[in-house]
């Protein structure tokens, strides 16, 4: 019997350390302070998703939020607040551990983000 494919679910505050560890493995050249993802989760929980693997542990994550049209926030930058009106949706980050790849999760999360936008 094969293992079940990972599934997207709402990110929880308790997922932040695992998401940070995924980011460190997947994007080592683009570090962000843990406060950045924590702020995105606080400001836009509907845009923060965890890819749950075995034991419901995150094997990937996606972070998106409203932004001003034509303007994307710099990496490793706190937003302070979401823009009103926003005019666009920013997919800030998608990161999947190697073992989570090949199941269509990246395409699925883009569709989920489009639904939020």
| Residues spanned by the domain of 16 | 7-116
Q: How many domains does the chain have?
A: 1
CA separation for the pair 94, 50 (Å, rounded): 10
Q: What is the pLDDT of residue 3?
A: 62
Please report whether residue 2 resides in a domain.
no
pTM of this prediction exceeds 0.85: yes
Whole-angstrom Cα distance, residue 62 to residue 37? 10
Q: Any idea what the CATH number is for the domain that residue 56 is in?
A: 3.40.630.30
User: What SS3 state is found at 93?
Assistant: strand
Domain membership flag for residue 1: no
Per-residue pLDDT of the chain (117 residues; tens, 9 = 90+): 346 789 999 999 999 999 999 999 999 999 999 999 999 999 999 999 999 999 999 999 999 999 999 888 899 999 999 999 899 999 999 999 999 999 899 999 999 998 887
Query: Would you say residue 57 lies in a domain?
Result: yes
């Amino acid at each position: 019997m094969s293992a079940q494919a990972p599934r997207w679910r709402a990110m929880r505050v308790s997922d932040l350390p695992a998401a940070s560890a995924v980011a460190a493995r997947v994007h080592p050249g683009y570090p962000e302070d843990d406060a950045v993802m924590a702020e995105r989760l606080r400001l836009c929980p509907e845009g923060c998703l965890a890819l749950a693997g075995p034991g419901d542990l995150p094997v990937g994550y996606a972070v998106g939020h409203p932004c001003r049209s034509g303007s994307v926030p710099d990496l490793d930058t706190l937003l302070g607040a979401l823009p009103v009106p926003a005019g666009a949706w920013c997919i800030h980050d998608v990161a999947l551990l190697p073992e989570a790849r090949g199941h269509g999760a990246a395409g699925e999360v883009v569709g989920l983000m489009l639904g939020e936008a």
